[in-house]
Amino acid sequence: MGVSGAGKITLMDVLAGRKTGGYIEGNITISGYLKKKETFARISRYCAQNDIHSPHVTVYESLVYSAWLRLPSDVDSAARKMFIDEVMELMELTPLKGALVGLPGVNGLSTEQHKRLTIAVELWQILQ
């Protein structure tokens, strides 16, 4: 996609609406249509290159925490658990349910498993 410093992450941050500094001008279009933040947020997800997970909790605890933060408050505990189980199965994290997240390359999950957890915590709105 480009050499280091070419602006790949900056482009993704602008598209995702995460860029807070600098100067952005012009229109963003997706397939010829003006990007609407609400619509774009429902159909896309962007996981940052440097994902952030607490290394001291399990995979399951990470997903429970994410579900409580991201699912609407009217989703009851049984439905919340169903979503968590579905995400774990979808991302092939079920066998790692009780594994500590740890630090990538040091202990805990492998780098690939860590990335799957990062994707998993972004899936809540897709499953609703």
Helices 77-90 and 59-70: angle between axes, nearest 10 degrees: 130
Q: For 1-25, how does the pLDDT look when each residue is reduced to its tens digit (9 = 90+)?
A: 678 888 888 888 888 777 878 888 8
- Would you kindly state where each structural domain of the chain is located, as residue ranges? 8-43, 59-127
Question: Which tokens go with 13?
Answer: 């941050």
* Rounded Cα distance, 59 and 98, in Å: 6
Q: For 32-80, how does the pLDDT look when each residue is reduced to its tens digit (9 = 90+)?
A: 888 887 777 777 777 766 677 899 999 999 999 999 988 888 999 999 9
Predicted TM-score of the model (pTM): 0.70
Burial category of 95 from C-beta neighbours within 10 Å (exposed 0-12, middle 13-18, buried 19 and up):
exposed
Q: Which residues pair with 29 in a beta bridge?
A: 34
